[in-house]
């Protein structure tokens, strides 16, 4: 039996471990109401309740629940009313869904290398950049560029994070997007949110996500004379109910992560060649990140943790310059859309061809933290991990 099996932990144990039938009042309410489509009722839908609570927590004017964070990114991009082939500057270190969202909108992603923290290096952006996506990766709150009219914050892994001035992540730019995927801070298996303080953007996104309609709850959708086309990104009531339950536990999850992070920071790893990377006060402590002095040492640590059944992960999978979606420029369209609208030359901004970033990724190891565990069990888990790492 592994350490994680003994302690009842899962590989990605954040909000999922707070799911409990006895705590699913919102889901029971939806089932009792027997309406699973958010616009089928004239009373406040569960999706609307979720959006209202998120808006209140984040201090934003508009929140929209959708199926996943990729749709949220697409809505944010489409609401900027771009032209086909417009450039969108995205992090070189992030999940490929960011590039996929850009391409599916008919836009062209430009990879921007990371800084020492692996966040998008804003000093590499051209002064006329119009559309930039900044990802707050692994719970770390990134520093945002200034003067970008359409700055979109990808907060998929950082729900509950705060900037040094106290603002919630996702609220400092044109729009912010969040994820309820299984391995995020909170989960409904899949699910997403997009938030904005821009009234026009909020109206455009709400219209587009429901076939371009002007929806009145409880009635069939209608289309104004100047209606544009849209798609169906409308979330369902049962998913929103699970998200409401999860959102009630956000502060509890964040506090549990903070507590175990403090324990780990004080205990790990007990050696200078495997050092913990400190996090800022407003970061969401989803993991303890370790930086090894070499790729070989990192691999040895991975092997030792694997042998003990201790959950961990590495970050090389996030290096987009090596991802086939970007390197191959392939398309399902016969004419190669939207790559056929891309400018000539490489769509990359880096001082060294991403060499430094690749090296940092190759030497980084992440250990998940478990907010649901009592402090004594968190401390025991940290001591076990330290013991394993000291044998490497």
Q: Of 7 and 49, which is predicted with more confidence?
A: 49
Reported confidence tier of residue 12, pLDDT bands at 50, 70, 90? low
Domain extents in the chain: 15-248, 251-318+354-389
Res 278: pLDDT? 85
pLDDT by residue (tens digit) across 166-191?
999 999 999 999 999 998 999 999 99
Q: In angstroms, how far is CA 280 from the centroid of its own chain?
A: 18
Do residues 107 and 87 make contact, with C-beta atoms less than 8 angstroms apart? yes
Res 129: pLDDT? 98
Q: In what order do the strands lie in the sheet with 287-292?
A: 274-276, 287-292, 364-368
Torsion of CA 299, 157, 248, 27, to 10 degrees: -90
Beta-sheet strands, E only, within 226-304: 274-276, 287-292
Least confident of 2-6, 334-338, 363-367, 379-383: 2-6
Say if strands 150-154 and 175-179 run parallel, antiparallel, or are unpaired.
parallel
Return d(Cα 77, Cα 56) in angstroms, integer: 24
In the chain, the largest separation of any two C-alpha atoms, in whole Å, equals 70
Res 11 pLDDT > 80: no
Res 376 pLDDT > 80: yes
Res 13: pLDDT? 63
Res 391: pLDDT? 93
- Above pLDDT 70, what percent of the chain? 97
Least confident of 69-78, 198-207, 266-275, 330-339: 266-275
Res 3 pLDDT > 50: no
Element of type H or E holding 234 = none
How many residues are given for the chain?
392
Res 271: pLDDT? 87
Least confident of 75-84, 260-269, 285-294, 360-369: 260-269
- b/e map 152-180, b = 16+ CB within 10 Å: bbbbbbbbbbbbeeeebbbbbbbbbbbbb
- Name the fold adopted by 15-248: 3.40.640
Res 132 pLDDT > 80: yes
The reply to whether domains 15-248 and 251-318+354-389 share a CATH topology is no
pLDDT by residue (tens digit) across 31-47?
999 999 999 998 999 99
Task: Share the mean pLDDT of the chain.
Answer: 94
Return d(Cα 264, Cα 133) in angstroms, integer: 31
Res 279 pLDDT > 70: yes
Reported confidence tier of residue 345, pLDDT bands at 50, 70, 90? confident
Res 7 pLDDT > 90: no
Give every CB contact of residue 296 below 8 A, 6+ residues apart in sequence.
none
Cα separations in angstroms, 137 against 22, 92, 118, 146, 375? 33, 11, 8, 19, 26
**pTM for this prediction:** 0.95
Res 6: pLDDT? 41
Reported confidence tier of residue 268, pLDDT bands at 50, 70, 90? confident
3-state secondary structure of 97: helix
Res 360 pLDDT > 80: yes
Reported confidence tier of residue 24, pLDDT bands at 50, 70, 90? very high
Return d(Cα 54, Cα 63) in angstroms, integer: 7
Secondary-structure class of domain 251-318+354-389 per CATH: alpha beta
Res 14 pLDDT > 90: no
Res 102: pLDDT? 98
3-state secondary structure of 43: coil
Name which of 213, 242, 243 is nearest 226 in CA terms.
213
Q: Which two tokens stand for residue 49?
A: 């309740």
Return d(Cα 293, Cα 364) in angstroms, integer: 9
Return d(Cα 46, Cα 36) in angstroms, integer: 9
318 by Cβ neighbours in 10 Å (0-12 / 13-18 / 19+) ranks as buried
147 by Cβ neighbours in 10 Å (0-12 / 13-18 / 19+) ranks as exposed
């Amino acid at each position: 039996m592994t350490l994680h099996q003994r302690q009842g932990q899962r590989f990605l144990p954040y909000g999922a471990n707070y799911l409990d039938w006895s705590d699913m009042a919102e889901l029971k309410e939806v089932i009792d109401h027997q309406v699973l489509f958010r616009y089928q009722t004239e009373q406040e839908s569960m999706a609307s309740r979720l959006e209202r609570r998120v808006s209140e927590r984040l201090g934003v004017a508009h929140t929209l629940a959708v199926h996943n964070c990729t749709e949220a990114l697409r809505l944010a991009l489409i609401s900027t009313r771009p032209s086909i082939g417009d450039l969108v500057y995205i992090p070189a270190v992030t999940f490929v869904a960011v590039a996929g969202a850009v391409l599916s909108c008919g836009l062209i992603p430009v990879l921007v290398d990371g800084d020492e923290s692996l966040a998008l290096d804003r000093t590499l952006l051209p002064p006329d950049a119009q559309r930039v996506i900044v990802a707050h990766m692994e719970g770390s709150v990134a520093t945002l560029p200034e003067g970008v009219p359409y700055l979109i914050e990808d907060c998929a892994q950082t729900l509950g994070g705060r900037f040094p001035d106290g603002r919630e992540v996702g609220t400092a730019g044109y729009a912010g997007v969040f994820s309820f995927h299984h391995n995020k801070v909170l989960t409904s298996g899949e699910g997403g949110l997009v938030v904005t303080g821009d009234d026009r953007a909020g109206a455009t996104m709400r219209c587009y996500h429901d076939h371009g309609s002007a929806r009145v709850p409880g009635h069939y959708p209608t289309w104004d004379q100047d209606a544009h086309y849209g798609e169906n990104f409308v979330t369902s009531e049962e998913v929103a109910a699970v998200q409401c339950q999860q959102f009630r536990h956000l502060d509890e999850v964040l506090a549990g992560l903070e507590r175990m992070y403090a324990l780990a920071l004080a205990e790990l790893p007990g050696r200078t060649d495997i050092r913990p990377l400190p996090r800022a006060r407003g970061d969401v402590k989803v993991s303890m990140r370790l930086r090894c002095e070499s790729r070989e040492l990192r691999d040895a640590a991975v092997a030792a943790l694997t042998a003990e059944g201790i959950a961990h992960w590495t970050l090389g999978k996030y290096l987009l310059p090596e991802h086939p979606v970007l390197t191959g420029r392939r398309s399902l369209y016969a004419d190669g859309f939207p790559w056929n609208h891309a400018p000539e030359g490489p769509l990359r901004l880096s001082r060294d061809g991403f060499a430094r970033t690749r090296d940092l990724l190759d030497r980084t190891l992440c250990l998940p933290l478990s907010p649901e565990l009592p402090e004594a069990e968190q401390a025991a888990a940290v001591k076990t991990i330290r013991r394993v790492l000291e044998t490497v």
